[in-house]
Structure 1
Amino acid sequence: MARSRIRPADSGADRAAATGSASAAAAATTVAATGARARAPRKPRLSRQEKSERTRAAICQAAAEVIGEYGYANASISRIMERAGLGHGTFYAYFDSRQDLFDALLPMKGEEVLGFVQERVRGAPDFIDMEYRGFLGFFEYVQKHPWFFRLLHEAQVAAPDGHHRHINNILTRYRKALRRAHDAGEMPGYDASELDTLAFLLMSARDYVYSQQVARSDDAAETIQQAVRTYAKFVAHGLRGAEPQPQTPAGDKTGVAPREARGRKKPEDHQP
């Protein structure tokens, strides 16, 4: 008679061994993962100069926001440093006084605006298209940074040196762009001596159209679209500087301008 083979039940020792193997495998996985994290490249430490630049930028950004909210007169050092999340004493490692900060602030933030707009106008085929893109880009920036206009407008009194430098920085950019456009024949109706006046006209348009028209409207998005369309027409036609030509009425084949478009007779024409 054949012997029946009976499989013995798992012993406690076998179960312990199995559990130990699973735990060992899990532990090995954890160690491997920990080792992988440990071997991951660390971010390079900032140099002392980089840390200093970041701290200075943080102070300036906090100052811009505080001025936008309270104005220059109420932008105290304690308010600025609290907004920056830095100790009061840190301020004097970067600026000699509050006025020193104010004079540096607008030119610094102005360069930030110019850099932002420069990215928006990149690739423009001519000055007219560049100015259209720049107008829209400027509006985009000030919508994202609502403190800018108070920083700009109050600076003329609170930080005149900084305001003067900021205006000169913008004027320098415009002079170069207008000179290139003029030399390329894009503005045949203007003389080179008129380019600075054109630059100030364009600079003031950006400021006042936004700060006075857009900022006062109930629907900023729609007002911006309308303003940009109008500005595009102004730039496209006004910058050419050409005298308008008399229009010949429809159906008139003579080519003679209407009576009101013709000049009056000279006095000598009435002489016998």
Structure 2
Amino acid sequence: MMDETAQVQPSAPENERATPAREKESLSTPALSRGEITRQRILEAAEAVFGELGYYEASISEITRRAGVAQGTFYIYFRTKRDIFVELVRDLGRRLREASAAATAGLTDRLEIERQGFIAFFRFAAAHCSIYRIVEEAERVAPEAAQEYYQSISRGYARGLRAAMEAGQVRPMDAETLAYALMGIGHFLALRWIVWPQLSATAGPAVEASAAARQSDQSAEQVLPPQVFETLMEFITHGLAPTLPSSSPSTRDRAGSSPAERGQEANPPEPQP
């Protein structure tokens, strides 16, 4: 999917005791300062609270309670509930782009970049199902943040697709249109096979399967049902092919003439008396 590395957020003040982040850091990620760790804990708590309660029901007191910090500490990093909400949308977008960039680093074949990028996206969606509710609410609460979330993904995505077109790996098309089309495919496949099962109280086995996929080292494709992922890749493979398959010529080429011309040949005018 996308393949753009995000910029790291600026360091926050160092005034809290160091606490391990809940998510494993990449081996290549520099060590975080105590202030950065505290800030990240607050953002992670905010992700859980906004994801569960929604923006309007969420409160700063609940966020700080889950983060294990005093309310005064919250205001060192964020001014208001809206401020942390906007920053959370940015943070989720940055982490998603970083996950994709790490998964596709060093790859040059566009189809393999698409495969690994989509795998990274689906794994991220499985681990952060609340991102759907948060970004959807951002369209009403902070539309500029929601717009930037999608645009920051599409810019890098379109840039990679454009480079693949110049290299002859993808047939020439409008790169931005193609980027948004592929983003939409990933969005709705994750919604259907990852987010909805986790939200459904009657989909116990599906929830357990998604949780297992997040917590184990199994193949990333298994986050989605295998046939779903392979159907996606089959569609992308043929959709991005540099040239149309020889078995699928254009409407004119199939018969060597246009439909109107073929109709004239099949139904020649009757001879006049």
SS of the residue 2:177 aligns to? helix
SS of the residue 1:265 aligns to? helix
Question: Judging changes above 3 Å, is the alpha-carbon distance between structure 1 residues 69 and 125 closer, same or farther for their aligned structure 2 residues?
Answer: same
The aligned amino acid for 1:180 is: A
Structure 1 residue aligned with 2:72, among 78, 82, 89? 89
Offset, 1:196:
0.6
2:58 paired residue number: 75
Q: Are 2:54 and 1:55 equivalent residues in the alignment?
A: no
The separation in 2 between residues aligned to 1:180 and 1:100, in whole angstroms, is 36
Offset, 1:123:
3.2
Question: Judging changes above 3 Å, is the alpha-carbon distance between structure 1 residues 214 and 58 closer, same or farther for their aligned structure 2 residues?
Answer: closer
| TM-score after normalising by structure 1 | 0.69
RMSD: 3.2
The aligned amino acid for 2:103 is: R
- Asked whether the 8 Å contact 2:159–2:175 carries over to 1, the reply is no
The separation in 2 between residues aligned to 1:59 and 1:70, in whole angstroms, is 16
The separation in 2 between residues aligned to 1:85 and 1:68, in whole angstroms, is 18
The aligned amino acid for 1:171 is: S
Unaligned runs of 5+ in 2: 1-12, 16-32, 198-202, 211-221
Residues 240-251 of structure 1: pairs in structure 2 closer than 5 A: 240=241, 242-243=243-244, 245=246
Query: What are the Cα deviations for residues 66-109 of structure 1, in whole angstroms up to 9, with x where unaligned?
Result: 11111112121111111110111222111121111111111111
SS of the residue 1:240 aligns to? coil
Unaligned runs of 5+ in 1: 1-46, 249-255
| TM-score after normalising by structure 2 | 0.69
Q: Are 2:207 and 1:227 equivalent residues in the alignment?
A: no
**Identity among equivalent pairs (%):** 30
The separation in 1 between residues aligned to 2:227 and 2:234, in whole angstroms, is 11
* Greater relative CO (CA pairs within 8 A, separation 6+): 2
Structure 1 residue aligned with 2:127, among 112, 136, 144? 144
Question: Judging changes above 3 Å, is the alpha-carbon distance between structure 1 residues 170 and 65 closer, same or farther for their aligned structure 2 residues?
Answer: same
The separation in 1 between residues aligned to 2:237 and 2:34, in whole angstroms, is 46
The aligned amino acid for 1:48 is: E
- Asked whether the 8 Å contact 1:247–1:257 carries over to 2, the reply is no
Residues 12-51 of structure 1: pairs in structure 2 closer than 5 A: 48=14, 50-51=33-34
Tell me how many residue pairs correspond in the alignment: 216
Offset, 1:225:
1.8
The separation in 1 between residues aligned to 2:45 and 2:142, in whole angstroms, is 17
Offset, 1:184:
0.3
Offset, 1:263:
5.9
Asked which structure has the greater CA Rg, the reply is 1
- Asked whether the 8 Å contact 2:157–2:179 carries over to 1, the reply is yes
Question: Judging changes above 3 Å, is the alpha-carbon distance between structure 1 residues 243 and 60 closer, same or farther for their aligned structure 2 residues?
Answer: same
Offset, 1:114:
1.2
Question: Judging changes above 3 Å, is the alpha-carbon distance between structure 1 residues 196 and 83 closer, same or farther for their aligned structure 2 residues?
Answer: same
The separation in 1 between residues aligned to 2:102 and 2:235, in whole angstroms, is 23
Query: What are the Cα deviations for residues 168-211 of structure 1, in whole angstroms up to 9, with x where unaligned?
Result: 210111122111101101122x23xx111000011111111011
- Asked whether the 8 Å contact 2:126–2:223 carries over to 1, the reply is no
